[in-house]
């Protein structure tokens, strides 16, 4: 059996194992090891499994992942994020749909500090959803804004998905992190505009909040939330200014977060234990999937399929725009069933040769791919972020209500994606300024 056929059987086996609910890390490792064994034999397979996993785990670029996760764990366990919704409510509640606008802003900042869309959705559902439902907001709006805004964290640094993409694409991780900033802010702005327009058209969605806050209240609440913007400036400023690599910036952010927790009097050994446990657990989960994907990439290389993909793209006269739309369709389908890291690691070894064949900008494509992965967290029938919100609220809100609200935000995503594709400068402006 030729190597390409072996790979196709391995790919089929992977999807069978995933359909049987096997953890993606184990499924990737099993099919990859068996595929390499079939192509190269037992001795070479054993050697490759050992060397590939070591080389991947020891790569300097990926050391940013545990550091960013530790930074997010320090911020969450240290209580630095708990006042975000309170600040948004005080400053933005007078706008049409003000509590939803405040939730959108707070969730985006929380996601940026935590690095996890799913963890953000769970935490912000507990903080913000009861407040909006109590104020008479339509359940579809109150829940969907949390599910959707949680995805913005994958674009605004620090982003674990961008770090992993940078390793596979062999691109500068600092430039990739900065590339996501403007698209992330664009998404947050588009969501805000959507909420305001919808409430203007249908005021029943969000009754006007009658709370009145003085300027003293507004200034006081800023004293509670300033650490989060400060930490974002520390991380992004050190990368953009060329003072630190992404890994060094992540370590600096972790140290700064720990010092802020100590200054605010929230330090304890329980805090350290819980934060480190969160970071270690999350890091182990990410790296286990990534190690399986590294083996999968090796199997793909041995199969000889990447050059075949490049040749097919060149001979088929496919344009870069056609390939972009093909990628969008692929991620929309996969996003319905798989988790973000898994999608990224399964597809990149196959797609990167195609991007190279058309000489496409890999930083721009990284933004498009990460954006599409996060949209996949919202699309039915799975929509992981939607199910997280539903799981936290239980029987308070029906699942169809959440999806009904999400559909409006997906309409906004069509416009956002159109702008990102039509104007690559949105993604490339800041990275180009770093050169």
Q: Give residue-wise pLDDT tens across range 151-191.
A: 887 888 778 888 889 888 888 888 998 999 999 999 999 99
Highest mean pLDDT among 74-83, 320-329, 410-419: 410-419
- List, for residues 365-390, the tens digit of each pLDDT value: 999 999 998 888 788 766 778 888 88
Percentage of the chain beyond pLDDT 70 is 95
List of residues 6+ apart from 239 with CB closer than 8 A: 157, 174, 177, 178, 245, 246, 249
Q: What is the reported pLDDT for 75?
A: 82
CA 386/CA 402 separation, integer angstroms: 7
Q: What is the reported pLDDT for 173?
A: 87
Please indicate whether residue 250 or residue 142 has the higher confidence score (pLDDT): 142
Q: What is the reported pLDDT for 339?
A: 67
**Does the pLDDT value for residue 423 go beyond 90?**
yes
Q: What is the reported pLDDT for 200?
A: 93
425-433 and 362-376 helices, crossing angle to 10°: 130
Q: What is the reported pLDDT for 382?
A: 65
Please indicate whether residue 85 or residue 226 has the higher confidence score (pLDDT): 226
Q: What is the reported pLDDT for 148?
A: 92
Q: Which DSSP state fits 140?
A: H
Q: What is the reported pLDDT for 338?
A: 67
CA 250/CA 234 separation, integer angstroms: 9
pLDDT interval class at 196 (50, 70, 90): very high
Taking the alpha carbons of 69, 48, 32, 43 in that order, is the dihedral positive or negative?
A: negative
**Does the pLDDT value for residue 80 go beyond 80?**
no
User: Taking residues 134-145, what's their average pLDDT?
Assistant: 92
Highest mean pLDDT among 253-267, 297-311, 330-344: 253-267
Q: What is the reported pLDDT for 144?
A: 94
CA 145/CA 206 separation, integer angstroms: 12
CA 163/CA 181 separation, integer angstroms: 14
Q: What is the reported pLDDT for 239?
A: 82
Q: What is the reported pLDDT for 361?
A: 94
- List, for residues 8-40, the tens digit of each pLDDT value: 888 888 888 877 878 877 888 898 889 988 988
- Name residue, tokens 């790569």: 59
pLDDT interval class at 142 (50, 70, 90): very high
User: Taking residues 356-364, what's their average pLDDT?
Assistant: 90
CA 368/CA 348 separation, integer angstroms: 13
Q: What is the reported pLDDT for 41?
A: 86
User: Taking residues 99-115, what's their average pLDDT?
Assistant: 82
User: Taking residues 197-225, what's their average pLDDT?
Assistant: 84
**Does the pLDDT value for residue 197 go beyond 80?**
yes
Percentage of the chain beyond pLDDT 90 is 23
Q: What is the reported pLDDT for 406?
A: 94
pLDDT interval class at 337 (50, 70, 90): low
């Amino acid at each position: 059996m030729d190597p390409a056929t072996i790979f196709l059987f391995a790919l089929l086996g992977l999807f069978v194992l995933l359909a049987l609910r096997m953890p993606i890390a184990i499924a990737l490792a099993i099919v990859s090891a068996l595929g390499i064994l079939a192509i190269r034999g037992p001795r070479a397979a054993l050697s490759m499994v050992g060397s590939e996993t070591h080389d991947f785990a020891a790569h300097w670029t990926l050391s940013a992942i545990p550091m960013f996760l530790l930074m997010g764990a320090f911020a969450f366990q240290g209580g630095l994020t708990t006042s975000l919704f309170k600040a948004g409510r005080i400053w933005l509640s007078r706008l049409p749909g003000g509590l939803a606008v405040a939730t959108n802003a707070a969730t985006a900042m929380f996601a940026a500090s935590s690095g996890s869309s799913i963890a953000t959705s769970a935490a912000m559902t507990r903080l913000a959803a009861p407040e909006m439902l109590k104020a008479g907001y339509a359940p579809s709006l109150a829940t969907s804004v949390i599910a959707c805004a949680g995805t913005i964290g994958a674009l605004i640094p620090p982003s674990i998905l961008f770090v992993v993409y940078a390793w596979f694409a062999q691109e500068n991780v600092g430039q990739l992190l900065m590339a996501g900033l403007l698209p992330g802010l664009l998404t947050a702005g588009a969501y805000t505009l959507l909420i305001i327009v919808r409430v203007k058209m249908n005021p029943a969605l969000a009754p006007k909040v009658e709370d009145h806050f003085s300027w003293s209240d507004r200034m006081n609440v800023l004293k509670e939330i300033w650490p989060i913007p400060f930490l974002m400036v520390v991380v992004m400023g050190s990368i953009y200014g060329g003072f630190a690599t992404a890994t060094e910036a992540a370590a600096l952010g972790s140290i700064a977060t720990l010092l802020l927790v100590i200054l605010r009097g929230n330090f304890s050994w329980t805090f350290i234990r819980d934060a480190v446990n969160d970071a270690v657990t999350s890091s182990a989960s990410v790296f286990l999937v990534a190690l399986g994907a590294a083996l999968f990439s090796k199997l793909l290389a041995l199969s000889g399929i990447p050059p075949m993909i490049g040749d097919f793209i060149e001979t088929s006269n496919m344009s870069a725009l056609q390939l972009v739309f093909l990628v969008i369709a692929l991620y929309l389908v996969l996003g319905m069933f798989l988790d973000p890291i898994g999608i990224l690691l399964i597809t990149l070894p196959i797609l990167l040769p195609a991007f190279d064949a058309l000489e496409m900008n890999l930083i721009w494509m990284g933004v498009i791919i990460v954006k599409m992965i996060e949209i996949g967290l919202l699309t039915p029938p799975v929509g992981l972020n939607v199910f997280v919100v539903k799981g936290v609220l239980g029987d308070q809100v029906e699942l169809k209500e959440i999806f009904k609200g999400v559909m409006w935000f997906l309409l906004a995503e069509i416009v956002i994606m159109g702008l990102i594709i039509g104007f690559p400068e949105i993604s490339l402006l800041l990275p180009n300024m770093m050169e």
